[in-house]
Amino acid sequence: MAQLQAEVETHKPEAEPFLSIDQALELMPGITRQHLAQLRYVGAGPRYYKPTARTVFYKASDIFEWLESSARTSTAEEAR
């Protein structure tokens, strides 16, 4: 049993750390805490995790993916 557990631990992928709201905001210049809360409410912001009623976490990869989805090359172009 100990050998199996050691093998699992050896092959376990490194988990991406969770970011607090304040840490997430550091990756999104120009977005306020209130705006981020509104984006969560309407379902338009980056993916987030809510393990309890009062706790919200983000992952940097989800934030970067969300930011990339809004990339544009022209002011006339719709967001991707």
Residue 10 CB contacts under 8 Å (≥ 6 apart), including other chains: none
Name which residue leads in pLDDT, 78 or 22. 22
| DSSP H or E stretch at residue 67 | helix 60-69
Distance of alpha carbon 13 from alpha carbon 64, whole angstroms = 21
Q: Which domain holds residue 26?
A: 15-69
In a domain, 45, yes or no: yes
In a domain, 79, yes or no: no
Task: List, in sequence order, every residue forming a beta bridge with 49; answer none if it has no partner.
Answer: 57
Q: Measured on CA atoms in the order 23, 46, 28, 71, is the torsion positive or negative?
A: positive
Picking from 32-36, 59-63, 70-74, which range would have the lowest pLDDT averaged per residue? 70-74
In a domain, 74, yes or no: no
pLDDT tens per residue across span 6-60? 565 665 567 899 999 999 999 999 999 999 999 999 999 999 999 999 999 999 9
Total domain count for the chain? 1
In a domain, 76, yes or no: no
Nearest to 39 by CA among 1, 30, 6: 30
